[in-house]
Every structure is written in structure tokens, then in C-alpha cells.
Amino acid sequence: MSLVQVRPSRDRPARDLLGFLPTTREEMDARGWDQLDILIINGDAYVDHPAFGGALIGRFLEGRGFKVGIISQPRWDDPEDISRLGTPRLFVGITAGNLDSMLNKLTAQKKVRSEDHYSPGGNTGMRPNRASLVYTNLARQAFPGVPVVLGGIEASLRRIAHYDYWSDSIRRSMLLDSKADLLVFGMGERPVWEIAKRLGEGATLRELRDVRGTAHMRNPGEWESLEASRFVRDGKTVILPSYEEVKADKAAFSAMSRAFQYETNPGNARPILQAHGKRAIYLNPPARPLATADMDELYDLPFQRRPHWIYGDARIPAFETVKHSIVTMRGCFGGCTFCSITEHEGRIIQSRSAESVLREVRALRRMDDFRGVISDVGGPTANMYQMRCRSETIESSCRRLSCVHPGICENLVTDHGPLLDLLGKVRESEGVRKVFVASGVRYDLAERSPQFIRELAQHHTGGQLSVAPEHSKDGVLDKMKKPGIGSYERFASSFLCASADAGKEQHLVPYFISGHPGCELGDMVDLALWLRERGMRPRQVQDFIPTPMSMATSMYYTGLDPFSGEPVYTAKELREKKLQKSLLLYWDPLQHHLARIALRKAGRGELVGMAPGCLIPPEGAGPRARPADAPSKGQGGGRSKGGGPGAAGKPRRPSKRTQGSRRRRGSGVGSRG
């Protein structure tokens, strides 16, 4: 079956029985199907677009000849809803959606979010807590004897024992709690295809235990005799501290986190085993990354690029953000400790060809509401397209956790030429008026290409550009594995100069994190002063959320740096997290009460007052006027017509493009450039 198919015409009827993966019996009947091969249960609304994981995997399997159906956001009070398409022949696939279901529901302050970006109308309550567990249990009830394969980011990042922020506890591997037959971790195309193919050929579940990128459960007598690996190339198994050990001992949890991180490179990763009582979780090495031809085939699949017609006119916020954007690559070699992209998408950059991207540009042109503006061309990071190690041999044997920290590796090819060439071709495409880069820019890489900065400022910035310095203090940045603030300041200066040369008034939208491990109140005071000195008033502020499997989460829970073993201070009380965040928002009168408390608690009470050097006005005083010596424009924060960083006046909600790029890039795991 050819994977490159003609896209449907724009005048197809709204109720299209053949255009989408079947979600109803009527759609199956229209195709002449009596039975599905594979049923996907999905925690997000069904949007037939490559940015939505359930649709991506479903189309991928369909393109290889399998009959695939999808049921999105089913009722979870009984199994009747997920049974409407009948029993699948091969297996049931489960995904909680593009976000961990608990992260999707709750904020850093553990309050219920007001909107679900992946549900019709932005409605909340459309999926259960810990959706992977609930859906797997439903599948077991509805389809006894049918294999259940668990995947998606929720399961992927909970594949071993992990700290759960929402319950403040150590939880077991999701494979054990869900009772699924297999757990697919990472990007699932290769493993799920192998599972489907081999099951179709008559293989048993036990015979599938060797599939890369999957985990399975081993019963007593099946794992105790395994010999622990002593060095990387011995082909033996890395034995992690058991669930019981990491639950009882924070030092053991830290050691587990560190050992796990070193087994994420598909070129040299070893199998991993972790005991849970008398049973054990066994993880095969990660799946091999997709080659460019594979990525092209994936994005050439016949996506409708819109929500299923069952939703009528209901708006799905996440789709509205990405519908006119293009993903050029996946993966990230940054290794930021607060981000789990490496653990899910991998460290190796997997890029599409320019020809594939241009085919997608032509598909965008056929959309009814496309007006010539592409909202983003990028990925987890805007400027890692086609970057990788200069040698496949070095890459396959490398054990570094970051290619850019503490400095950029001498073996990393940082040429921005392929990206510049791609952006130029997209700009020149028929029907395209404007091409934005809304994904976060990795500024330490951008520094190496003045031409990229010039073209970024001249052609691809709509007044605001997203960057993520995260903090100003070297000690905190080191715990994040981010470059020093000097790198950001050099990039900011270059970008502002390039904008001026292009005759454009533009500014940066810097992202900052409060409450990150290693950050004390005094560090936040210094950051607030750094911001004020540059006339910066950040609105993109993230209160650190400990998501499963990240190294920052390990620091948060244990109070230990997993790499050095040294103690790490962490703000754990919700009150202190609020105090730290209030200092980032020092300019907002609504935060002044908390900021005063924070300053006095940090021993910096002299910064409360009306004097020129003060940060916050005293109680009872009106809002402080902008200090006469504060710059109206600075590195990364200048006055703007839209109320951007550095602008005086009323806070303004960030643009949809800025908000959305964070949602899509991050996939809910803290990703930023």
C-alpha cells in the first residue's frame, strides 16, 4: 500500500464516513469491514492530525495494511462504550493522550485546570485520572483474552518506579498497575508495527518479549538468575534498585534515576530490570530512531488535518494552535533536567526532508481556513533541524546525557544551513505569505549562526520570539543543565540588532521557572533584580512541576543531585512555591503582597519601599512608577505595542501562537528550547 496518497478535496461532506479512522460501526460498514485488526483507545479528542499521537499511530498502522479503529474519550463507568466497534483481531492499544492525565488536570498548586486543551470545547472531565490504568481495565473487561498494549507519554514516563507529585508518593511501574501485556515506551511507530506484524503472523505474547522499545512483566523464576551488567558492552542487564528499595530509601531512588538516564541511547543502551516484589519489570533497549525516509512516510499519510465530524462545531484548543503549523523534526539533545523529551522522543534528532515539508505546505494550502500564514515551522526546539553527531560510530557509543552541557560537544554538527535552506523554500512556496518560528530557540546554538539570527529576525518573527533562559543564577542553571545567562544576553543583543537592521521593532518572550530544585528565595530575589535592571516584565512564568522520570523530579523528591550525590535545596511547600513565583511577577500589583513576604523572608526587606533601588512598594502604597533609570529596551525585554516583556501597563494574555507553541512543543513534559 502506498503511503503517499492524494489529500481529500476541501468540499467533502462534513459527515465523511471514509475519510477518518473509524470511530463508529457505520464507518466500519462503509469500508466493508466486519472486524478491526487493532482498536486504539485514546484519552484525547480524535483529531486526524500528525500532532496527535493516537491519530499518528493509527494512520501509521493503517498505512501498513491493518484495519484500525479509534475510540476517543470513552465513558469509563462501564465497558459498553469501548465495545461499540467490536472485538479487534490482534490487540487493543491504549494511550492517555498527548499529556499525562494528571498533568492535564492539575496545576503546580494542585488545583483543577479550567480548560482541557485536548477536549472538545476545552471541557474538563472528559477523561479519568490516571487514564491509562482506567482504560486498560475497561479493555480487559470488554475484550477478555485480547492482548492489551499500553503506550503514550503517560505510560512511557511511568515505565519504572517513579515519584508521583499529585499523590506525593512513589508509585509502581504503570505496566504492573495496569496489568497490560506490553508497554511501549518512547515514540511507538517501530515497536507497535513489529507487535502488530508478529501477532498477525501467529506469534504469542511471550515471543514478543524481545521487541525493542517495549517493557514486559516477568514472573517469579523468570528473572532472579539474570546476571547484572558490569560494563556497557557486555550485553547483560542493568539491575535497578527495586521498587521497595526506592520507596524506602531516597538515596536508592537517586541512584535508580541516574542509572536509568545512561540507558537512553539506542546505540549502547542495555536492557533494564527492576523488581517489584516477587515480579519484575523488564525493559528492552529503546527503539531505533526513524530515518529521514521513515519520517517522510509518516507525515505523508492521508491525515484529514481536522477534528472528526462527531464534534460538530466544537473548538478543540490544541488543534487550533497547531493546525497551520509544521513539525520538521523530533528529539532533543539538550538534556535539560526539568524536561523528559529525551526519555520519550530520544536524544537523536530525526528530521524530515525538505521535500516532505513542502508537500505538507501544499496540504495546508488546501485547507479552507488557511490564509497563507504558517504559525510554526519547528519541533521540540526550533533550531536543531538535521543536527547530529559528526560520526555515527561516536554517536552510537556516546554516554553523554547532553550534547550542549556543560558546553557544546566538539562532535556536534551545529550547522544551521539545512534549516535556513528549508525556511527559505517554505517562504517561497506558492500561497504562503508568512512563516513564523514559534518553537523555542536554543540560543546557545543560534549564537553560532549569525545568518540564522538575521533571517529569524527579518522573516520569521511576528513581533515576539520565544526563548527560555529559565533563570539568571549560574548555580540554578547548572542544576537545570542550561547554558549560563551570558549566552542568552549575547543572543538577545544580536537578535535586537538584527531586528533593528531589518527595520522591525521586536522583542523576546523569555520563559522563566520558579521553584526549580537548587533555587532558593535569595536566588529568586537576584533574578527579580536582574529582570528589573533590564526592564523585563515576564509573563511566561512556570511554577516547576515534578513530572515523572525527569532528573529535576528526582532532585525534588530526594533532595540529592543524582549525578554528584550532593544535597540540593528544593521548595516543596506550596506556599514557598507561590512566594518564589511572586518574585518573578514583581511588577504585578496582584503579587505584591506575596512578594513582600518573600523579600522579608529572604532577608531582603530593604527592597520593599518607594526608593529608586526598591523592588516592591510598601503596604498601602499605590503601584510604583517605572524607575527613571530603568531601560525601555534591553536584552530580551523592551517596550512593545502589545504589552510584551519590558512594557509598562496592564498585563496582557499571551498570544495564541505563543501559548500554543509551548503546549505542542512540550507535550506536557516541560519541554522548552
CB atoms within 10 A of CB 408: 16
Rounded (5°) CA angle 236-241-244: 140
Q: 324-666 has which fold?
A: pyruvate-formate lyase- activating enzyme (3.80.30)
Mind listing the pLDDT tens digit for each residue in 486-537?
999 999 999 999 999 999 999 898 999 999 999 999 999 999 999 999 999 9
557 CB-contact burial (10 Å; exposed 0-12 / middle 13-18 / buried 19+): buried
Mind listing the pLDDT tens digit for each residue in 254-305?
999 999 999 999 999 999 999 999 999 999 999 999 999 999 999 999 999 9
- Residue 75 CB contacts under 8 Å (≥ 6 apart), including other chains: 81
Helix %, strand %, coil % of the chain (to 5): 35, 15, 50
Query: What is 114-174 written as a DSSP string?
Result: S--TTSGGG-S-SS-TTHHHHHHHHHHHHSTTS-EEEEHHHHHTTSSSEEETTTTEEE--H
Mind listing the pLDDT tens digit for each residue in 49-96?
999 999 999 999 999 999 999 999 999 999 999 999 999 999 999 999
C-alpha cell at 589: 500589583
Share of the chain above pLDDT 70, in %: 90
Mind listing the pLDDT tens digit for each residue in 579-624?
999 999 999 999 999 999 999 999 999 999 999 999 999 998 766 5
Residue 144 · residue 102 · CB < 8 Å: no
Angstrom distance (rounded) from CA 434 to CA 338? 33
| Neighbouring C-alpha atoms within 13 Å toward the C-beta of 14 | 5
Residue 334 · residue 442 · CB < 8 Å: yes
Give the DSSP letter of residue 665.
Answer: H
CA 1 to chain centre: 32
Boundaries of every domain in the chain? 25-283, 324-666
Q: Look at residues 147, 157, 156 and name the one whose alpha carbon lies nearest to residue 208.
A: 147
Share of the chain above pLDDT 90, in %: 86
Residue 657 · residue 438 · CB < 8 Å: yes
C-alpha cell at 633: 529596551
Q: Look at residues 351, 484, 503, 379 and name the one whose alpha carbon lies nearest to residue 441.
A: 379
The helix-helix angle for 189-200 and 53-62 (nearest 10°) equals 40
Q: What burial letters (b/e) apply to 183-213, b meaning 16+ CB within 10 Å?
A: bbbbbbbbbbbbbbebbeeeeebeebbebbb
pLDDT, mean over the chain: 90
Instruction: Give the pLDDT band (50/70/90) at residue 634.
Output: very low
Q: Look at residues 215, 209, 216, 219 and name the one whose alpha carbon lies nearest to residue 279.
A: 219
For residue 216, the cross-strand partners are: 282
C-alpha cell at 184: 511501549
Question: Strand (E) positions, 473-515?
Answer: 507-514
What DSSP element (H or E) covers 239? strand 238-239
Instruction: Give the pLDDT band (50/70/90) at residue 625.
Output: low
Angstrom distance (rounded) from CA 233 to CA 212? 17
CATH for the 25-283 domain, from 3.40.50.280, 3.40.50.300, 3.40.390.30, 3.40.710.10: 3.40.50.280
The maximal CA–CA distance of the chain, rounded, in angstroms, is: 78
Rounded (5°) CA angle 491-375-584: 50
End-to-end CA distance of the chain: 37
For residue 464, the cross-strand partners are: 507
Query: Helical H runs in 122-188?
Result: 131-142, 152-156, 174-178
